[in-house]
């Protein structure tokens, strides 16, 4: 079947528009705004801890970890309280010192350093367990030397002042690990 030139031209333009829409729909941060949760939407790891070795625990039971060596008493530590969510405890040393004041602010119910802190985290990519729309809240963890919010966040779930679960991401929601405030 042979198409006339005007019909072929229209089809070519439609195909070009479709390719453009699909390319723009893949996200991509222009630098004018914060990176969206869709940025880097490829499959992402959810665990940030290494595989257990033969020295580690052999039980599948969730464990409340002791304060790791080098961690001060009262600092957050990696804790896997939800073994069913496929998100592991934060590895020793991954939680930055800048997390402590954020945890304190969350536990106090604010005030927060950034206007978006305490807002609903929508979990669009579904990396965290499915919950009601307003279950998760997000909070900024400062990165020293940056003049903007950076990529580090705490995401809590189940209550603004006394959350049921605490997650940390250092790569703007590309991966998560679980922790618990100690105190």
Tokens representing residue 77 in the block: 């530590």
Q: Radius of gyration (Cα) for the chain, nearest Å?
A: 21
Q: Using CA atoms, how far apart are residues 117 and 102, in angstroms rounded to an integer?
A: 10
Annotated active-site residue 172? The verdict is yes
Q: Which long-range contacts (CB under 8 A, 24 or more apart) does 119-124 make?
A: 121/155, 122/37, 124/37, 124/38
Q: Which two tokens stand for residue 58?
A: 């052999």
Which position among 37, 138, 170, 178 bears the catalytic label? 138
Are 156 and 168 in contact by the 8 Å Cβ rule? The answer is no
Structure token digits, residue 23 = 């390319």
Told to judge if 148 belongs to the known catalytic residues of this protein, a careful annotator would answer no
Maximum CA pair distance of the chain? 77
DSSP three-state, residue 119: strand
Is 154:177 a contact under the CB 8 Å cutoff?
A: no
Q: Catalytic residue among 37, 75, 172, 178, which? A: 172
Answer yes or no: are the C-beta atoms of 82 and 164 closer than 8 Å: no
**Catalytic (active-site) positions:** 138, 172
């Amino acid at each position: 079947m042979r198409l006339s030139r005007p019909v072929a031209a229209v089809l070519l333009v439609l195909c070009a528009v479709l390719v453009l829409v699909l390319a723009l729909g893949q996200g991509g941060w222009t630098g004018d705004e914060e990176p969206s949760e869709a940025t880097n939407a490829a499959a992402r790891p959810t665990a940030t801890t290494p595989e257990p070795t033969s020295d580690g625990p052999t039980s599948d039971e969730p464990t409340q970890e002791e304060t790791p060596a080098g961690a001060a008493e009262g600092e957050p530590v990696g804790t896997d309280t939800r073994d069913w969510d496929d998100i592991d405890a934060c590895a020793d040393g991954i939680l930055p010192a800048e997390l402590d004041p954020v945890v304190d602010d969350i536990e106090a119910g604010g005030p927060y350093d950034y206007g978006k802190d305490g807002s609903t985290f929508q979990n669009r990519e579904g990396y965290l367990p499915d919950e009601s729309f307003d279950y998760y809240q997000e909070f900024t963890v400062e990165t020293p030397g940056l003049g903007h919010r950076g990529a580090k966040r705490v995401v809590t779930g189940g209550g603004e002042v006394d959350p049921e679960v605490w997650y940390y991401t250092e790569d703007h929601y590309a991966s998560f690990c679980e922790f618990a405030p100690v105190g």
